[in-house]
Structures are given as C-alpha cells and as structure tokens.
Amino acid sequence: MQIGMVGLGKMGGKMAERLRRGGHDVVGYDRDPAVSDVSSLKELMERLQEPRAVWVMVPSGPPTHATIEELGNLMSPGDILVDGGNSHYVDDQKHGAALGAKQIGFVDCGVSGGVWGLENGYALMVGGSTENVERLMPVFDTLKPEKDGFVHAGEIGAGHFAKMVHNGIEYGMMQAFAEGWELLEASDVVTDVPGAFKSWRTGTVIRSWLLDLLVRALDEDPALEELEGYAQDSGEGRWTVQAAVDHAVPLPVITAALYARFASRQDDSPAMKVVAALRNQFGGHAVTSKEGSVAKGADSPGADVVPPVEAQK
C-alpha cells in the first residue's frame, strides 16, 4: 500500500522504515531535508496516487493543528488522514468534523512502542469509521506486533482516548517502581538494590517491560547518580485526570503519579513551605530556614505562639 508519512523523527522515521520493510511504498516528509523524500506537503500530495492516505506523526497541539489544516486544503474527497501523534481526543473530534465536511476520512491512532517499535512492533489504538479503518488495515497489520497489539477502539477520538488512559496507567506503574527504588536505596538492610530488581524479572507478578527497562537503566548507572530528580510530562497524564473528573471516576494512583511529576520540578516546594509552617504552628514541629538554621517550634521555650481562642477560655 502507498502511504505518505509526515514527521520522520524518533517514532515517525522508524515507523516509515518498518512499513518499507513490510513492502509498502512510503513517501516521507519532514522539515529536515536530510531525511525527507519531498520538499513540501504539496509535493507529497503530488507524489501520492489517489485516493491517498497520509499519516501525521508530529508533536501534539499547534504543530498537529497546523499540519492537519494544511493537508486538509491539499487533499481530495476520498483521501484519508491519520493522526498518529499524542493528540487530545477532543481535538480529534474537531479535526474529524472539519475534514469530514470536505469528504476526507479521518482516523486517530494512539501509538505505543517507543524507539523499540521498529523491531518489536507498535501497539495501535485506533478510532474512526469501520470503512476507513479497514482500508488502512494493511498498514496497521505491518506496524503492529505479530500477536495482539491492535484495537479498533471505537469512533473518532476513541483511539487517542485509549492511548491517553494507557499513558495514565504507565504514570502509575512508573511511580510505583520509582517509590520502591527510593525505599530500597534508603534502607540499610538491602545492599544490592539493582540485584533486587533483577530478581523480580522472572516468576513475579510485577514482571514487565517497564521493569526490564529499569534494570537496564540500573545496569548503566546503579545508583542513578547521573540523573536529576526531574520528570517531565507530555500531556496525556493531565488529560487522563481531567477525563476522570469529567466522568466522575476516581483515579487516586494516576493522579498522585502526575502530581509527583509536578513536585519533581520544584527545588523548594511552595506547597511544602505551607505544610511546614502549619506543622510548626499547630504542632510545634521544628522547621529549617533557607540558611540552614532550625527555627523554634511552637512549643519551644521563647516561641511567640498565640493559642487558639478555645484554649484561652
């Protein structure tokens, strides 16, 4: 099958290569001319035979919006556009409606597999009409792993909704591994922390690819001394928590994992300043100033504390 691939970065480039290895005719476009087959989206459209299929793999948000809008002005009725980036499912519904008005098909596809997908295949979560999804099945069959790894999750938006929840679960699993590692490191009982994680890889209920990747990271840097305790988020965790609020579904683990990422970016957490100040006020717990000195607790001799009104009676 012939397909255009827009965005040939870490994911898009390897996906294009996997498709070529599978016998597909891939015409790629990227802003980097060194990896691009054509010089513009217009030339890409001219190279593809109608009815055309174009897969977009660019960063979510404004880059995706702009790319889809430009392609929508270049495509013809009967063409199909696939958004394979990490877009918000609400945006999919808007894009699908705008393209549908021009009789251009739209399919959203959540893709998981990272840099390993070229060899192992990509998990694909797809949203769109049955007709459009079936037309693209030769591409999906080549990209996915040999077993499982594909779902037609529902109508437009369903693919990215499923991927959003997948990434939310990933947040929670990663946070659990991270907290376990920190506790093991803090303990003076366990002296081989990397070995403990390796021992869990076979025969345990927490064996997983994430565990394998953590063991790999610990092999390279046993105490993770080369890394800073800062974790970015790419948006899906926030969208998952927001969707939970919209649907009144409690997500305590995923929400806590998202907030932990926010906390990782604060060298001197404002929220913890408030907590420390309140603990000092109501419980007399000592606090540490920026200069490193220990401030007097509320029950320390000489501390200027005004008791609650009830206590004064």
- Residues catalogued as catalytic: 163, 170
Q: Of all residues in the chain, what percent are helix, strand and coil, respectively (each to 5)?
A: 50, 15, 40
Beta-bridge partner residues of 154: 127
Residue with tokens 């997983």: 208
Question: 236: closest CA among 156, 293, 153, 162?
Answer: 162
DSSP state for residue 151 in the 8-state scheme: E
Cα angle 98-4-108, degrees, rounded to a multiple of 5: 45
Question: 48: closest CA among 23, 64, 71?
Answer: 71
Q: Under 8 Å CB-to-CB from 289, ≥6 apart: which residues?
A: 295
Residue with tokens 């005719």: 25
Q: Under 8 Å CB-to-CB from 125, ≥6 apart: which residues?
A: 109, 110, 111, 112, 151, 153, 158, 159, 160, 162, 163, 166
Measured CA to CA, the distance from residue 139 to residue 131 in angstroms comes to 14
